[in-house]
């Protein structure tokens, strides 16, 4: 298993793209008549200033290409689907709602068909089936990873009589700390609270449930039995319901999006929350924190780690079939996964490079909070779960929010979700939507999740 050790060695970065990056890819296409405009859609905000800067540099160097950026704060999945249906989809995009489905519909192209073999060679050790490779080909290339941590307001801790060098490790400790912080927070205007749980955007359960499930050894999929087991998240939801019921979670979580939630943390109005490594940029640039904040490992029910934290980012940046000149659009995507771009990205503390040679060539990032995310020894990539599921009824995020709102019991809601997910999985298997051998992993161990 590859370790993502972030050793730092200084070297000079050679400027690229004074001429076209590649003399040609694997596909022949008609030569463009004049400059080519490449539409690039992104859903990320924390790195937007860097992306815009590098896009301008790319455009400056290449008078034959003009990249145009569109940034979405929310709703990119829906916008992308509608754009494909209307024939107005972008040439390149940072995220897909369902990669397998988009590939089967012919909406995206295998990136490796448009880039030369010597460039592709650097990525061969980072193949993750059904994440960045599909049907044996790279459709997207590894660039930066992201991991997850527990962040807390060190100054609020001190003011409430808590040791900022001893953040909570167990669920009970988080609850205890949240009670102390909330009680102390009564003396402030506006009032401060112990914990933040913003769940109106249902994707957030990927961060707040899946990541704690990973380090607790309570992953939601059994790779030996090919079976969803969301019932494993019962203690996590009980933990959050306790925080809610005791009045120590920031009010209005069911109607709060992640951006205003992170802004509340930066303003010092909440003591603790979960964060991803991209939040380094959020708390430093997008919503600059007005207090010192700490980074700790995610809490578990009993403080024991029984699984690796999930490392995300095995692939990103997709080439769509809408691109009139895909070999040209591929050059823009190649630029964003090549060394020059990623070294600058890492040095600004915006993300963790998947390829360790990036960190080895870079200066040490000086972004506040970065060291707490940089040690990835206890993080790893997790296998994908089977695609092509046609679920009847509400999805996981909606069910979790129904549980949090008291509309359905935890046991009832999770059992029903598992039943429907596994029915959908079996139906997908029956219609050959996926090859089960791609997902069966005998003896799968959450402490070594990426070992097959």
Q: What is the pLDDT of residues 215-258, one digit of tens each?
A: 999 999 999 999 999 999 999 999 999 999 999 999 999 899 99
Average pLDDT over residues 307-333: 92
Least confident of 230-244, 292-306, 311-325, 334-348: 311-325
pLDDT value of residue 323: 96
pLDDT value of residue 31: 64
Q: Residues spanned by CATH 3.40.190.10 within the chain?
A: 36-145+312-375, 148-310+384-452
Q: How far is CA 337 from CA 123, 156, 254, 332, 358, in A?
A: 10, 39, 37, 9, 10
CA angle 279, 285, 290 (to 5 degrees): 90
pLDDT value of residue 290: 98
Residues sharing a CB contact under 8 Å with residue 413, sequence separation 6 or more, in sequence order: 399, 400, 402, 403
Give percent of the chain above pLDDT 70. 92
Angstrom distance (rounded) from CA 238 to CA 247: 14
Q: Specify the residue for token string 């929010």.
A: 401
Q: Specify the residue for token string 């070999």.
A: 327
Q: Residue 275 gets which letter from DSSP?
A: E
Q: How confident is the model over 38-91, as pLDDT tens digits?
A: 999 998 888 899 999 999 999 999 999 999 999 987 788 899 999 999 999 999
Helices 410-430 and 396-404: crossing angle in degrees, nearest 10, is: 170
Look up the pTM and report it: 0.83
Judged on CB neighbours under 10 Å (0-12, 13-18, 19+), 37 is middle
Q: How confident is the model over 81-119, as pLDDT tens digits?
A: 999 999 999 999 998 878 888 999 999 999 999 999 999
Within 10 angstroms of residue 366's Cβ, the number of other Cβ atoms is: 10
Residues sharing a CB contact under 8 Å with residue 121, sequence separation 6 or more, in sequence order: none
Within 10 angstroms of residue 426's Cβ, the number of other Cβ atoms is: 12
Angstrom distance (rounded) from CA 446 to CA 355: 22
Residues sharing a CB contact under 8 Å with residue 414, sequence separation 6 or more, in sequence order: 230, 231, 233, 234, 237, 399, 403
Q: How confident is the model over 7-27, as pLDDT tens digits?
A: 333 233 333 333 455 544 545
pLDDT value of residue 37: 97
pLDDT value of residue 21: 54
Please name which of 148, 128, 146, 147 lies closest in space to residue 138, comparing C-alpha atoms.
128
Q: Specify the residue for token string 């249906």.
A: 85
Q: How high does pLDDT run on average in the chain? A: 91
Angstrom distance (rounded) from CA 206 to CA 213: 10
pLDDT band at 30 (very low <50, low <70, confident <90, very high): low
Least confident of 131-140, 188-197, 392-401: 131-140
Average pLDDT over residues 426-431: 96
Angstrom distance (rounded) from CA 103 to CA 131: 12
**Which CATH superfamily hosts domain 148-310+384-452?**
Periplasmic binding protein-like II (3.40.190.10)
pLDDT band at 394 (very low <50, low <70, confident <90, very high): very high
Tokens of 168: 């909570």
pLDDT value of residue 353: 86
pLDDT value of residue 9: 30
pLDDT band at 450 (very low <50, low <70, confident <90, very high): confident
**Which CATH superfamily hosts domain 36-145+312-375?**
Periplasmic binding protein-like II (3.40.190.10)
């Amino acid at each position: 298993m590859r370790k993502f050790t972030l050793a730092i060695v200084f070297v000079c970065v050679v400027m690229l793209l004074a001429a076209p990056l590649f003399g040609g890819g694997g596909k022949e296409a008609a030569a463009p008549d004049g400059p080519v405009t490449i539409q690039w859609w992104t859903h990320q905000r924390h790195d937007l200033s860097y992306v815009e800067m590098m896009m301008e540099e790319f455009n400056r160097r290449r008078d034959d290409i003009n990249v145009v950026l569109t940034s979405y704060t929310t709703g990119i999945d829906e916008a992308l689907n509608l754009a494909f249906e209307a024939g107005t989809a972008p040439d390149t995009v940072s995220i897909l709602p369902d990669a397998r489905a988009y590939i089967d519909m012919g909406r995206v192209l295998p990136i490796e068909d448009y880039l030369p073999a010597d460039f592709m060679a650097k990525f061969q050790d980072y193949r993750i089936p059904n994440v960045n490779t599909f049907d044996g080909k790279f459709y997207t290339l590894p660039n930066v990873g992201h991991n997850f941590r527990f962040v807390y307001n060190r100054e609020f801790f001190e003011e409430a009589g808590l040791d900022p060098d001893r953040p909570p490790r167990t669920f009970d400790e988080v609850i205890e700390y949240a009670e102390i912080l909330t009680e102390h927070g009564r003396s402030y205007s506006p009032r401060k609270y112990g914990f933040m749980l913003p769940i109106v955007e249902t994707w957030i359960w990927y961060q707040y449930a899946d990541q704690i499930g990973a380090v607790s050894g309570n992953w939601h999929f059994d790779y030996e039995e090919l079976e969803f087991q969301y019932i494993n998240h019962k203690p996590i939801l009980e933990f959050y319901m306790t925080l809610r019921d005791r009045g120590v979670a920031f009010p209005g979580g069911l109607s709060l999006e992640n951006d205003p939630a992170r802004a509340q943390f930066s303003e010092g109005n909440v003591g603790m929350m979960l964060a991803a490594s991209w939040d380094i940029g959020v708390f430093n640039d997008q919503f600059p924190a007005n207090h010192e904040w700490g980074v700790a490992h995610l809490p578990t029910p009993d403080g024991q780690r029984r699984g690796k934290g999930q490392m995300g980012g095995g692939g990103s940046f997709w080439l769509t079939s809408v691109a009139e000149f895909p070999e040209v659009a591929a050059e823009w995507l190649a630029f964003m996964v090549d060394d020059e771009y990623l070294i600058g990205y890492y040095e600004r503390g915006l993300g963790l490079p998947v390829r360790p040679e990036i960190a080895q060539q870079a200066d040490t990032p000086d972004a506040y909070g970065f060291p707490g995310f940089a040690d990835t020894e206890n993080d790893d990539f997790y296998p994908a779960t089977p695609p092509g599921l046609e679920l009847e009824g509400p999805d996981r995020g909606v069910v979790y929010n129904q549980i949090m709102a008291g509309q359905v019991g935890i046991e009832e809601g999770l059992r029903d979700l598992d039943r429907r997910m596994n029915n959908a999985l079996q139906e997908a298997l029956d219609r050959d939507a996926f090859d089960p051998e791609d997902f069966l992993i005998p003896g799968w161990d959450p402490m070594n999740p990426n070992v097959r």
